[in-house]
Structures are given as C-alpha cells and as structure tokens.
Structure 1
Amino acid sequence: MRKSYSYQTPWPGYWFIFPALLTMLALIAYPLVFGMYISGYDTNLINKWKFVGLQYYIQAVTDPDFLHKLGLTFKFAFLVVAGNMVIGTLLGVLLNMDIRFRLLFRAVLILPWLFPEVVVALLWKWMYNPLYGLINYILQSMHLTQDAIPWLDNPGFAMWGVVIACIWKGYPLVMILILAGLQSISKDLYEAAEIDGGNQWQLFKNITLPGLMPVLLVTLILETVWWFKHFTIVWLLTAGGPIDATSVISIDIYKIAFENFRFGRAAATAVIVFIICFLISYLYRRFLADDDK
C-alpha cells in the first residue's frame, strides 16, 4: 500500500537547482570575489602577497592616464551603441514590413552576430589593409581618395575603424530584439488608430514607440555594458594603438596584468569597471521600476 504524506519537504527542489547554483558559484561568484581580494594586494599570484589596501583604487582614480582611457572607453561605447541602435532599429523596422525575400534578408543580416569575434576582427583587418584592402580599393575606384588610408595605423582613423567593425558585429542583436518587440505589438491597435484617422507619424508616436520603449531600454543598457568592457575586436585590430588612440580600459587592464605583471592594480581597475557596469545595471532597474509605476 502506497504511503501518502500531507507535507513534502522542499529539499528535492533544492537538489535540482544545486548543479546550476554550483556552476554559477564556480564560474561567476568565485572569480569576482577573488578579483576583489587580490585588488588589495601587491602580488605576483605565487609567493608575493603584500597588503596595500585601497592604494591601487586611489592610484587609479587619481591617475590622469587612467581617466583619459576611461573617457576613451565611454566614447568608444557611445559610438558603437549609437550605431548599433540606429542601424539595428532601422533594419528591424524594415524587416517587420511585408517585403519580398524577407526571410532571406533576415538570415543574411544576422550573419555578423553568428561569426566569432576573432573572425570578425581578422576580416576587417584584411579589409582595412592599406596595400590590398577592399575598403581602400573601393574608395580609390570611386575617386573618393587618391592615396590609400592607413585606417588602423593613423591615430585619427583608428578609433573609427574599430567602431565600424564593432557596429558590423553588434547591430544584428539590436535588430532581432527590435523585430521581436515590433511583432509583440498588437495589430488591432494600428487598425483602430487608422479607423480614427491617425497618420503614420501618429501611429509611430502613440503606438510603436511606447510599445518598443521597454525593449529599447533593455537593449540600450545591455549594449552599453557589453561594449564598455569589450576587448577582443579592439585588441586584434589595434592592440590599443596607435599611440594609445584605441586603448580602451579593457586593453589597459590586460597590459597591466600580463605585460607589467601588476595583478593587484589590474584587479582594482577591473573592479572599478565592474562598479560602473553595476551602476548602469542599477539605472536599468530604476527605469523598469518607474515604468511599472
């Protein structure tokens, strides 16, 4: 005869989530806590552990070079996020229309997001090459320039070259999110507004934009956090050069840690970047709270 229990303990549920919890602790919580720990030490991670407290934090926030690179990082993130938002939103709106070969365009336009960042960086490095690069060939063929432009070797062009490559990599994510947001808006709202005599601008202002606002806010914050701490494409294209023209904060952290072997100072800088990203995330939650109210 099967026994019946009026009360069941919650332990089976805890055991089900235990593997995921353990994975998160090992891959997220432990590196984060350990990074904060070593930021208070002058260490080589082997046999040198000299406690310095908040010294590296004070050095970072009072170092003009660090503040310059932090400003450069904000500039880089702003340009990439702005480009992604504009291009991704426009393409999302176009792909939401009833046009021919819409599925084909969706498949082609999402390809840059599917490529690994290493592939994207090498592809654009080839196209930027001043001797045999595709971009200079097109510009010279159209008689827009006479001489080849050293995109990644000129301090005036290097940042723009990196930004364009990152926008090409990043716009598909915005496009997909905007497209999903547009498709979640009920068509009945548009039909009712058209019956009431609303024009296209009124439809966009009063239906499309409010319906997209939650998606736009989430996309904007996630994009900002992602590109603020980006490393791979910038490193492979310019390694922070020329003359530190593209030396964003992630490049600086890498050089401090693995070229100068100042792991404590690098960890302190990384913690500062984490705090900045956390503040951005906090603003994101504040926006949602205000929206819910």
Structure 2
Amino acid sequence: MMLLVIAYPIAYGFFVSMFDTNLMNRWNFVGFKYYWQAVTERDFLDKVLLTFKFTIMVVAGNFIVGTLLAVLLNRKIKGRAIFRLILILPWLFPEVVVALLWKWMFDPIYGLVNHVLVSAHLISEPIAWLSTASYALLAVVFVAVWKGYPLVLIFVLAGLQSISEDLYEAAEMDGATKWQSFLHITLPSLKTVLGTTLVLETIWWFKHFTIIELLTQGGPVNATSVVSIDIFKLAFTDFRFGQASALAFIVFLICFLISFVYRRLLSDETK
C-alpha cells in the first residue's frame, strides 16, 4: 500500500521531470535540465526564499498564539469548554471558506477590516490589503495564522494536561516562581509535543497553496508568489508538466531535509 500511494507517485513525478512534456503528445527527454535551471535561476531561488519567509512567519505566529491560548485554557476557568470550542473553529472550516471569508473582510471598499480600522482612527483611508505589494504578504500570513493556530493549541493543550500537578506543587514548595516552573517543568515536558508540532507545521505551510491562491494568486507583482503557486501555474496554465514536476520534486527534497534535520536535533536533545 505504501508503494502504491507514496513511492509510485514520487517516482512517476521524478520520471516526468526528465521530459519536456504536456503529458499527451509531447515527450522530449531533457534529463536534469529543469533541475539545473531551478538551482541556477535567480527567480526560483527568490521564490524559495519567499516561501521560507512565509513559512517562518506563519509557524512563529501559530506557535505564539496557539501556545498562549493553550496556557490560558489549561487553567480552571468558568466556561472553559465553550472557549475551547470557539477557538478551534478556524481549524474546522475548509481552507476555501476561510480564504473567501477573509478576502471579503480585506476588501478595500466593503471590507470589515478597513471599516474597523478607520472607525478606530488607526488609518485615515481604506487600504487595499491584498493588492498592495507592501501589505499582501502580511495579510496572507495573518489569514494563515488565523487558520493554523488551533492545531498548535490542541497539541500544546493536550501536552499541558498530561503534566502532573504534583510537579508544580513540589516546585512551589521549593520557592519556585511561576516563570521558573514554566521554564523548568512546562517547557521540558512539552519538548516532544512542540518538536512534533514544529515539524508538521513547517512542512505543511512550506508547501501550502490554497489560501494564497484564493487570496492573491501570487500577486501583486509576485509579492506572495511562493513555490507552490509557481508550480501550479507552470503545470496547469502553461502545461509545462516536466518543469513543474522538477520544481515539485525539489520542494519534496526540501521538506524531507527539514524533517530530517528536525528529527536529528530532537533526538540529540532527548539523549
């Protein structure tokens, strides 16, 4: 089953990357031409750097928001179950729904975001968030964090609830402050959970496509044109499936390398 659903698609994608093909009547063998073009052309390298920038911003935002909310929800507060349900709702919505919802929210004329900011006198006039190069990436990152933080919230909250209260009571008896308890009890206990979540989050957002495509289509002026957008356009707009497959295989190798490095670092820390 693994050979069928994992190994075969990867092998076939690598095979297609060796050809200049439209998958129908054009199969011109080019070898590693597209791989060499990718690693030597400035345009592709810039998009890889942009993808890393997008990924780092989203993953950092997800961890900050998700961890803070998990710590708050781990406390015994009234209505905690209701807050948990509300805060994980973004994760339950399909990405298409999330993207279309926020596209309307960011609309420069009718959008709620501009209305609130103008009413609060934070901006003097409406801003075209998704069509302005200096704001587009930040807007897309904000939507991605809104969509993605519940996963970190769920993982971290589950990890927090597995920590014994006896450890905190013993630390308090020894005179430890809450901050010291967090540094020496909470964080070490969450190391495995945080490491696993970091790997999943990084790989997921590095190859992300849906939200960016629906919000900006990679624009304006390639301000949000990450690698996945470029691959999609090459394959399904220009019908250059060989070149698109080569870029996709490079992305696969990058994701594999990220996972390998994370796992090695985590395994070294746990020894």
Q: TM-score, normalised by structure 2?
A: 0.98
CA deviation after TM superposition for structure 1 residue 114, in Å: 0.3
Q: Residue 144 of structure 2 aligns with which residue?
A: 166
Asked if residue 82 in structure 1 is aligned to residue 60 in structure 2, the reply is: yes
Q: Secondary structure at the match of 2:256?
A: helix
State the distance in 1 between where 2:174 and 2:131 align: 58
Match of residue 203 from structure 1: 181
Question: Paired residue for 2:94, among 116, 131, 151?
Answer: 116
Q: Which residue of 1 aligns with 2:168?
A: 190
- 1:248 corresponds to: 226
Match of 1:56 in 2: 34
Shift of 1:27: 2.9
Q: Secondary structure at the match of 1:32?
A: helix
Identity %: 63
1:289 aligns with 2:229: no
In the TM superposition, 1:16-55 aligns within 5 A as: 21=1, 24-55=2-33
Name the counterpart of 1:233: 211
Q: Report the secondary structure of 1:144's partner residue.
A: coil
The aligned counterpart of 1:221 is 199
Question: Which entry has the higher C-alpha Rg, 1 or 2?
Answer: 1
Q: Distance in 2 between matches of 1:97 and 1:199?
A: 17
| CA distance in structure 1 between the aligned counterparts of 2:239 and 2:37, rounded to whole angstroms | 16
Deviates more, 1:148-157 or 1:29-38: 29-38
Gaps of 5+ in 2: none
Query: How far 1:98 moved relative to its partner?
Result: 0.9
Listed one character per residue, the Cα deviations across residues 157-188 of structure 1 (whole Å, up to 9, x for unaligned) are 10011000000000000000000111111111
Shifted more, 209-218 versus 236-245: the winner is: 209-218
Q: Which amino acid aligns with 1:104?
A: I
| Cα separation, 2, equivalents of 1:94 and 1:149 | 34
CA distance in 1 between partners of 2:269 and 2:42 (Å): 38
User: How many angstroms apart in 1 are the aligned matches of 2:10 and 2:202?
Assistant: 20
The amino acid of 1:92's aligned partner reads A
1:128 aligns with 2:106: yes
The 5 Å alignment of 1:142-161 reads 142-161=120-139
What amino acid sits opposite 2:72 in the alignment? L
Instruction: For 2:214, give the aligned amino acid.
Output: L
- The CA distance in 1 between the partners of 2:227 and 2:12, in whole Å, is 20
* 1:139 match: secondary structure: helix
Q: CA deviation at 1:292?
A: 3.6
Instruction: Tell me, in whole angstroms, the C-alpha distance in 2 between the residues paired with 1:213 and 1:246.
Output: 32
Indicate the residue corresponding to 1:15 in structure 2.
none
CA distance in 1, matches of 2:164, 2:268: 23
State the match for 1:3 in structure 2: none
Aligned letter for 1:33?
A
Q: CA deviation at 1:287?
A: 2.5
C-alpha deviation, 1:218, in angstroms: 1.2
Q: Which residue does 1:6 correspond to in 2?
A: none
Q: What's 1:67 paired with?
A: 45
Residue 278 of structure 1 is aligned with which of 256, 260, 264? 256
- Secondary structure of 1:50's partner? strand
Computed over aligned residues only, the root mean square deviation of the Cα atoms, in angstroms, reads: 1.0
**For this pair of structures, how many residues does the alignment match?**
271
Range with bigger deviation, 154-163 or 194-203: 194-203
| Residue matched to 1:102 | 80
**1:9 corresponds to:** none
- State the 1:47 CA deviation: 2.1
